[in-house]
Amino acid sequence: MRRPLPAPCSDWAYFLDLDGTLLEFGDHPRAVDGDARLRKLLAGLHRATGGAVALVSGRALADLDRLLGTAGPRLAAAGQHGIERRDARGRVVHHPFAAARLEHARAQLATAVAARPGLVLEHKGASLALHYRRAPRLGSYAHRLVRSLAPGLGPRFRIQTGKCVVEVKPAGRDKGAAVLEFMREPPFRGRPAVFIGDDAADEHGFAAVNRLGGLSIKVGRGRTVARWRLRNVAAVWAWLASGWKKPA
């Protein structure tokens, strides 16, 4: 039986996925929108921790900023599963990738998707995502289609699966690597790490935090290496907003 999840503490470092963790999924990436309540929650967390909060998402950084707006603090963030990362000072690093190969894959996918209503192809800049939430019956086709591109993409790319999505992303970058990079920098350095996520891509984050002796928290059902679990998005909000402990 898992130990009860402890109350959040202001001297921890928080790494948070977005879709399925802080926000419910939409049937299209652009159908999801942040709201004032989420901005208030994140601003409060940022203030309580002295800025030790980072979003770690499959979305691009520009999309994260679109969702959260500019009214509150500009959070540290890792986008596209860590391919791009903004530290707490606002400095952005983009990891290199084979752009020509990715563009060739995009063109092939775009041609195939045009004949399959319900599939949505998202070009994030350094990665591609094929969504089938609008047409779950096409899930198997979407996976076969993307995997058929693997020989042409070569070892510099990998296929990443998720909830009603299959992605093409540069190899060697994942959410766990992003967390470890943040943990070498202020204000995250030296703090216990917390990672909250809901999907297969978040398992890298869970594993990294487990190695650091932190709190890995899975949202929803499914097999996981996370050591704690919250039922749904509402439970994540409730936990993050619950009685804060001061450092001992």
Read off the CATH number of the domain in which 132 is found: 3.30.70.1020
Supply the range of the domain harboring residue 30: 13-95+173-240
For residues 81 and 125, membership in a common domain is answered with no
For residues 63 and 151, membership in a common domain is answered with no
Backbone angles phi, psi at 177, to 5 degrees: -60, -40
For residues 18 and 84, membership in a common domain is answered with yes
Structural domain tally of the chain? 2
Of 170, 187, 216, which closes a domain?
170
pTM comes to: 0.91
Q: Is 168 helix (H, G, I), strand (E, B) or coil?
A: strand
| Average confidence (pLDDT) over 183-194 | 98
| Average confidence (pLDDT) over 26-32 | 59
For residues 186 and 209, membership in a common domain is answered with yes
Q: What is the pLDDT of residues 117-154, one digit of tens each?
A: 999 999 999 999 999 999 999 999 999 999 999 999 99
Average predicted confidence (pLDDT) for the chain: 91
Instruction: Give whole-number Cα distances, 187 to 18, 84, 91, 101, in Å.
Output: 21, 19, 14, 37
Residue 60: pLDDT over 70? yes
| DSSP state at residue 121 | E
Task: Count CB atoms within 10 A of the CB of residue 123.
Answer: 14
Residue position matching structure tokens 């159908």: 31
Residue 170: pLDDT over 80? yes
The catalytic residue positions are: 17
Q: Is 206 helix (H, G, I), strand (E, B) or coil?
A: helix
Q: What is the pLDDT of residues 80-125, one digit of tens each?
A: 999 999 999 999 999 888 899 999 999 999 999 999 999 999 999 9
pLDDT at 42: 92
Q: Considering the chain, what percentage of its residues have pLDDT values greater than 90?
A: 80
Residue position matching structure tokens 């419910």: 24
Of 116, 136, 170, which closes a domain?
170
- Going by C-beta distance under 8 Å and a sequence separation of 6 or more, which residues neighbour residue 36? none
For residues 85 and 19, membership in a common domain is answered with yes
- Going by C-beta distance under 8 Å and a sequence separation of 6 or more, which residues neighbour residue 208? 175, 176, 177, 179, 180, 193, 195
Look at 65 and 197; give whichever has higher pLDDT: 197
